[in-house]
Amino acid sequence: MTSKQRAYLMSLASKLNPVFQIGKSSLTPEITEAIGECFHNNELIKVAVLKNCMDDPRAIAETVAERTHSQVVQVIGKKIVLYKPDKDKPKIELPK
């Protein structure tokens, strides 16, 4: 992913509300599975890491991206933005 594409996705993500919250129990298999299923409807997802989660948000983002075959767009503070294009009909067209 180029820096121009990443900047475009970040601009789209700024309008999104977090769809998932990762709390005290950190990253469970159920949350990972739910995030993976969410990619069936959305290509761009924002996840919030709550204050009571002791794990590093960047490490959580990398783990989720690896398990869901998505890409980490950005991690700012305790917010994670993930992107996974739809294989059949991509809704988001990235700049070249």
Q: Which homologous superfamily is 3-83 in?
A: YhbY-like (3.30.110.60)
- Spatial CB neighbours of 38, under 8 Å, sequence gap ≥ 6: 19, 20, 45
Supply the pLDDT for residue 70. 94
pLDDT at 56: 92
Please tell me the predicted confidence (pLDDT) of residue 90.
Answer: 78
CB 46 within 8 A of CB 19: yes
Per DSSP (E only), the strands in 34-76 are 44-49, 71-76
CB atoms within 10 A of CB 9: 22
pLDDT at 86: 85
Position 50 scores a pLDDT of 93
Q: Would you kindly state where each structural domain of the chain is located, as residue ranges?
A: 3-83
- Taking alpha carbons only, the member of 3, 80, 9 closest to residue 47 is 80
For each of the chain's 96 residues, which pLDDT tens digit applies? 888 999 999 999 999 999 999 998 888 899 999 999 998 888 999 999 999 989 999 999 999 999 999 999 999 999 999 999 988 887 888 888
